[in-house]
Amino acid sequence: METGLLPEDADVVVIGSGAFGLSAAYHLTALGAGRVLVLDQFAPASQTSPRAAGLFKLVRADATLTALARLSVEIVTRFEQLTGVALPYVPSGSLLLARTAAHAAMIRAEAAQSRGWGVETAEITPALLHDVAPYLEGAGILAAIDVPGDIYIEEPATLLDAYQAAGERLGMTVIGDTTVSAIRMELGRVAGVVTPRGAVRTPVVIDAAGAWSPIVGALAGVTIPVAPVRHQLRITTPLGGVDPGHRIARIVDASVYLRPARGGLMVGGMEHNPLPLDPRDTGPRFTMADVPLDGGVLDRMTSDVRVQVPALIDAPIAETRGGLFTMTPDAHFLAGPVPGATGFWVATGCNGSGFSLSSGIGRVLAEWIVSGEPSIDCSTIAPERFTGPSADRAALVTAGIEQYANYYTPRPLSDNASGGRWAAHATHS
C-alpha cells in the first residue's frame, strides 16, 4: 500500500484516486502543471472505479458529452502509443436494442443525432444480431443500432493503473491512506490541504472524491450537488461460445446492458427503485465494499431479457459487485472551477459514465487549469450552472433517483440539449 512521505508543497492537490482523480492528475502532469499530488483516504484506486463495467459509449444525447466520449475513446485507444504504458481494451462495438415502439423511435433519433456529431452508427436487422453477438436472439427486438466504435475494458483496474503509471513516469505522486480532513482558505482562495499526516500548501485543489465529493466540498465551504445512488452488476462463469470480441448490448427498455466478460457474460442495469446511499449518513469508515448488494434486482433484470439472452437463464454467477453513481439533477457531469472558492475545482457527477469519460474529462479539466480554457465547451457540465434548489439535499436525492430510474426513458429530443435543465435526458453508460 502506498504511504509515501507527504510533500510540504504541491502545484495541484487532487483529492481522490478514482478514475476522475487519476485521469486529471495524469493529464495535468503531462501538460506541465508542475508537482501534482494525488491523495486518497484508502488504498489508491480502490473504490467505485475498479467496480465499473468498463463500458464506453459514443451515442450520447448531448453534443458536449458526445465530444467528451469521442475524446475519451481516442485517448484510451492511443494511450500506449502516447505514453508507452500498456492499456488493453476490446474494440467490440456495441448494439443499442429496443423492444418497444417508443424506444425504437428514441434510439433511431439518438443514432441520427449522433451521426451528426461524428459517431458512426448503422441500423441492422434483428435477424443479424446473432452474427455479431451470438449470445443474443433477435426475438422481440424492434430496432437495433450498431455502433462499431464502442469499446470496453475487461478489467477496469487496468485503466486506473495505466493513468497512475503514465503519470508517475512524468513525476506525479499518488499517496494512499491519507484523508484530507480540512482545506485551508485564505481570502477566498485555496491555500492548502490538511491531513492527519501533515499539511500541504497548494493554490489548486481538485475534488475528485466520488461519493464523498460533497464532504470534500464542504471543507472548502461550497456545495457539491450530487446524490450517490447504488448500481450493481454480475458476471457469469464461462459459457460456451462467448468471445471477447462479441458486441456489447444495451437493451434500453429493460435498462439492461451486457458484454462478454472472462469467457462468460456481464449483466447489469438500472434499478426501477434505486437505492440512495450517502457517505455523509454512513460514517467515516464506509467504503464501497459496504454497499449492500441485492441479487434479486439482478435476477429480475436477467429474467426480463431471458428471451433475448437465453444463455443467462440458470447460468452460475462468478461475481456480483456494486458501488455508487454520483447523480446530478440534470444527469450531466460536474466538472470545472467551483464558484465561491478560487482554486477549488471539481470532477464528479458521473451519472453512470465516469469511468469511460474520465479520460476526456481529465484532459479538458487539465487544459482548463493550465491554459485557462478547455478545448471543448464545458458550459453544460460546469458547476456554476447549479444554484438555489440544487443545494436542498432532499430535492437533490429525489432528482438524482429520478434520473437514475429513467436512464433509458424516451423523452423529446428537444429536452436533451438543455444542459442545465433538471428534466434533461439521462446519458447512459
Ligand X SMILES: Cc1cc2nc3c(=O)[nH]c(=O)nc-3n(C[C@H](O)[C@H](O)[C@H](O)COP(=O)(O)OP(=O)(O)OC[C@H]3O[C@@H](n4cnc5c(N)ncnc54)[C@H](O)[C@@H]3O)c2cc1C
Nearer to ligand X, 231 or 247 (CB): 231
Question: Which uninterrupted H or E stretch holds 72?
Answer: helix 63-77
Angle of CA points 408, 290, 300, to nearest 5°: 40
Q: Which residues are paired to 123 by β-bridges? A: 145
CB of 105 to ligand X, least distance (A): 25
State the minimum distance, in angstroms, from the CB of residue 257 to ligand X.
Answer: 7
Helix boundaries (H) for 235-380 = 279-282, 295-304, 354-371
Residue nearer to ligand X on the CB measure, 179 or 342: 179
The least distance separating ligand X from the CB of residue 22, rounded to whole angstroms, comes to 8
CB of 18 or CB of 410, closer to ligand X: 18
Grid cell 469508515 in the structure block, residue: 285
Residue with smaller CB distance to ligand X, 32 or 196: 196
Nearest to ligand X of 104, 180 (CB atom): 180
A 10 A CB-CB count for 157 gives 15
State how far the alpha carbon of 403 is from the alpha carbons of 19, 83, 123, 261, 331, in Å: 22, 37, 27, 27, 6
Measured from the CB atom, the residue of 49 and 416 that comes closer to ligand X is 49
Strand duo 317-327 + 344-348: pairing: unpaired
Question: With respect to ligand X, which residue has the nearer C-beta, 245 or 284?
Answer: 284
**At a CB cut-off of 8 Å and minimum separation 6, what does 34 contact?**
10, 11, 12
Neighbour order of strands in the sheet with 12-15: 173-175, 36-39, 12-15, 205-207, 344-348, 334-337
The residues that touch ligand X, with contacts defined as CB under 6 A, are 15-21, 39-42, 46-49, 51-55, 179-180, 208-210, 212, 216, 231-233, 268, 321-323, 325, 348, 350, 352-356, 429
Residue 20 Cβ vs ligand X, minimum distance, rounded to whole Å: 4
The least distance separating ligand X from the CB of residue 344, rounded to whole angstroms, comes to 14
The rounded distance, in Å, linking the Cα atoms of 296 and 302 is: 10
| CB of residue 156 to ligand X, shortest distance in Å | 7
Min. distance of Cβ 323 from ligand X in angstroms? Answer: 3
Quickly count: other Cβ atoms within 10 Å of residue 32's Cβ.
10
